[in-house]
Structure 1
C-alpha cells in the first residue's frame, strides 16, 4: 500500500534539473520519486545533441508516457533562442497577423516552435499564453500576451495550437484564470487581482471557455482574486478555481498543470509541504517544481505523509494519479524522434530567422501606415 502511495506521489510531479548533464545525486532522487516528466531551461541546454541526450537519460527514471517540457512562447520566454535562433513573440506575431489579415502567420508560429521543440527532443511547449494584454499587467507580461481582447487571443491561440498539433507537439494554455489584471510578477510575489467573477468570466476566461476542447493542458497561476469566492487563496491552491470553475463550470477535460511551485507567488502563501497538498486537493493533476531537489523531495514526502494520515487524501492521491496517467497515455504516446542532421538544423534555423524578419517587416509597414 505504501508503495502505491509513493508511486502516485511521484507521478504527480514534473521536475527540473540543475545543469547540462545528470549528477549522481539527481539520478538517485529521480530513481526514488519516478516523476511524470522533466522540464528544462536555458541552464540545461547547449545544443540539440546534448539536450536530447539529457532528456533521453532523465526520462528513463520517469513514469511511462512522460512529459519532456520546455517554455517556448517566443520573445522574452524562449529557452532555445541561444541554441538555435530567437523566435518572435506571441504579441508581435498576433499584431502582424491580425492587422495585415495574414492569419497564416499565427499557424506558422506554432509550426516553427513545434519543429524546434521536436528537434531538441521535447514533446511539450508550455504555450500559448492566454492572458489578456491589459494595461495593469503590461510592465510584467510585456509581449507575452497576444492581444488585449479575448477574440484576438482566441484567434492567435487556436492557430498556434493547430500548428503545434500538426507536428505532434503538446501545448499548454496559461495562466488560468488570467494574469491580465495583475501588476506583480508571480515568480516573486502573490498578485491580488481585483476583478470580479463576472469580469473574469466575460473577459479573462473566454479563451479557456472557447478553446477547452483544443487545449491538451491548462496551467494554473499563483495569483489571488479577493473579489471572488477564492478570497486570499492562490488559484493553484483553490478548489474554487480549479475544480468548481475550470473542471465543472467550463467542463475542461484535459491535464491541469500548476505553474512552478517554487515561485514566490505560492511559497509566500504556504510552505512547500502545505502548498503541494493544497494543489492536489484543489484539483491539480501535475505539479511543476523546476529546480530545487530539496523542494522536490519536500513536496513528494508531504504528499506521502498526508496520504498516510488521511484516508480521504489517500483516495484522492490515487484518483489524481489515475486521471493523470490516463491523460498522459492519450497525449504523450510518441517516442523521441530521430535527431535532425546538421543540414536540417541549419535549415530550421534559417526558417526561424526568415520568419522573424517577416514579422518585423509587417510591423514596420503597419507603423508607417498609421
Structure 2
C-alpha cells in the first residue's frame, strides 16, 4: 500500500494510546482526527457499562473517520483479564477452557466474545495468549495460558483466534516470543529467559508459528530478554527477534504491537522517546502507550523528528503505517445498528448458550476425573 500522508500523520498511525475516564478527552479525539493517533486501547476505567462503552467507541470511530478508522482495542481474554462488565460475556480462564480440549466449543466461545465486542464498536481483542504455562512461579501468565503443552496451546489458540476473526474482530496473539517461563512481572521489572534456541523451538515458539500459519491479524511483543536470541536486549526493542525471527523466519505478515511502553520493564531503562524509536526500528508497527497522553505526544514528536533526519527510519515508519491502516480499513469499527440488535447480541442467547455448554463440559470432565 502506497501512502500519501504528511509525516506527522504517517507517524501518528503508529501510536495507540489510552486515557482516563468514560468520555474520550477532547484532546484525544482531536489527535485522532488530525492523524496523530492510530487508535485507542480501553481498560475497565473506560467501560463502566454497555451504553457508555458504545458511546465512547462511536466517538472514537467518528474522530478517526472512514479514511483512517481507528484500532479500538481491549483485553477481553476471559478469567482474570476481562475488562467489560455484565451483561457482557465473561469466559472462564483460558487454562480451564484449554483443559476441555473441545476446539469447536472454544471457537464458538471466541465468536460469541467477538460478536459482543463488534456490537459496541470494538474491532481488536488483545487475545489469545500464546504463551505456554511452563513455569508455576510465573506471576503474570499462569492461568491466562491455555496450558503447559505447546501443541495443545497452539491448537486452542488457533481455534480462539479464528473464532474472533470469523466474527469480524481482529485477534492479537501475545506475548512474542513467549512470556510463559518468566519469574518476574514485566509491568514491574525486566524478566530474562536463559533457555537455548532448541528449547525455544520446542516450547515457546510453536504456538506463535501456528498462529501465524492460521493468519492471525496481529501479535504483541513481550518485554523480556531472551538471551539465546538477542543478549541483553528486550524483545520489543530487538530487530533480531521482531524482524529476523518473526518476519524472516516464521513468516508473520500482520501488525506487530509493542506491549505498553509505560511498563517498568522498558520505562525503568529507557526514555519513552528512545524506546518508541527503537521498537519501531526493531519491527513493531504499532506502539501501545496505555495511560499518559503527554507521553503519547512525546512519542509522536520523537518519531517525527527521527524520520525527518533518517530516510531509512522514515521508510520503516511508512511500512508500519501501511500495515496498520490496511488492517484497520479491512476491519473498521462497526457498532450494532439498533438498540434491539445490540440487546440481542450482548448477553444474548448465543452468549448464554456458550456459557451453559462450557459449564456442562466442565461438569462432565469433573465427573470423569472423579471416577
Question: TM-score w.r.t. structure 1 length?
Answer: 0.90
* 1:305-316 pair list within 5 angstroms: 305-316=305-316
Look up the match of 1:57.
Answer: 59
1:336 pairs with 2:340: no
1:191-213 per-residue CA deviation (whole Å, 9 max, x = no partner) reads: 01111222112221111222313
Report the aligned-residue RMSD: 2.2
Determine the structure 2 residue equivalent to 1:71: 75
Q: Structure 2: which 5+ residue stretches go unaligned?
A: none
Separation of aligned partners in 1, 2:352 and 2:211: 32
Once the 2 structures are TM-superposed, how far is the Cα of residue 254 of structure 1 from its aligned partner?
A: 1.1
Equivalent position of 2:97 in the other structure: 93
- The SS at the match of 1:301 is helix
**More displaced stretch, 239-248 vs 2-11:** 2-11
The separation in 2 between residues aligned to 1:253 and 1:202, in whole angstroms, is 22
Q: Judging changes above 3 Å, is the alpha-carbon distance between structure 1 residues 156 and 19 closer, same or farther for their aligned structure 2 residues?
A: same
Q: How many residues align?
A: 362
Structure 1 pair 91–105 and aligned structure 2 pair: CA distance change class (3 A) = same
Q: What's the counterpart of residue 44 of structure 1?
A: 46
The CA distance in 1 between the partners of 2:20 and 2:213, in whole Å, is 35
Query: CA shift at 1:79, angstroms?
Result: 0.7
Q: Residue 52 of structure 2 aligns to a residue in which SS?
A: helix
| TM-superposed deviation, 1:173 | 1.0
Contact 1:234–1:269 (8 Å) recurs in 2 = no
Matched, 1:34 2:36: yes
Whole-Å separation in 2 of the counterparts to 1:28 and 1:333 = 19
SS in 2 for 1:180: coil
- Taking a change above 3 Å as real, the CA distance of residues 82 and 333 of structure 1, as seen in their structure-2 partners, is closer
Q: Relative to 1, partners in 2 of residues 1:49 and 1:244: Cα closer, same or farther, differing over 3 Å?
A: same
Q: CA deviation at 1:337?
A: 3.4
Q: Find the aligned partners of 2:327 and 2:343 in 1 and give their Cα distance.
A: 35
Give the match's secondary structure for 1:140: coil
Seen in structure 2, the aligned counterparts of structure 1 residues 344 and 206 have a Cα distance that, compared at 3 Å, is closer
Contact conserved, 2:237 with 2:278, CA < 8 A, in 1? yes
Displacement of 1:315 in angstroms is 2.8
Provide the secondary structure at the position in 1 that maps to 2:140. helix
- CA–CA distance in 2 between the matches of 1:320 and 1:104? 34
Take 2:103 and 2:355, find their aligned partners in 1: how far apart are those partners?
A: 19
C-alpha change, 1:346 and 1:173, in structure 2 (3 Å) is closer
- Please state if 1:232 is matched with 2:232: yes
SS in 1 for 2:73: strand
The 1:26–1:254 alpha-carbon spacing in structure 2 relative to 1, beyond 3 Å, is: closer
Q: Which residue of 1 aligns with 2:6?
A: 4
Per-residue CA deviations over 1:110-142 (Å, capped at 9, x if unaligned) read: 122112212332111111101001125543312
Answer whether contact 1:71 1:127 (CA < 8 A) is retained.
yes
SS in 2 for 1:187: coil
1:311 CA displacement: 2.9
Q: 1:328 Cα shift?
A: 3.3
1:364, 1:3 → 2: CA distance? 57
Q: The residue matched to 2:51 in structure 1 has which SS?
A: helix
Matched, 1:216 2:220: no
Deviations 1:136-180 (A, max 9, x none): 554331210001111111110121122212212211111000011
1:38–1:55 Cα contact (<8 Å) kept: no
Decide whether the 8 Å contact of 2:110 with 2:163 is kept in 1. yes
In structure 2, distance between residues paired with 1:175 and 1:89 = 17
Q: Which residue of 1 aligns with 2:277?
A: 277
2:112 aligns with 112
| TM-score, structure 2 normalization | 0.90
In structure 2, relative to structure 1, the CA distance for the partners of 1:270 and 1:359 (3 Å cut) is: farther
Equivalences for residues 286-301 of structure 1 within 5 A: 286-301=286-301
Distance in 2 (CA, whole Å) between partners of 1:84 and 1:328 is 24
Q: 1:346 to 1:222 in 2, by over 3 A?
A: closer
Bigger shift: 82-91 or 253-262? 82-91
Question: CA offsets, 1:51-82, max 9 Å, x none?
Answer: 11111112333362321111111001111144
Q: Secondary structure at the match of 1:261?
A: coil
Structure 1 residues 232 and 83 mapped into 2: Cα distance closer, same or farther (>3 Å)? farther
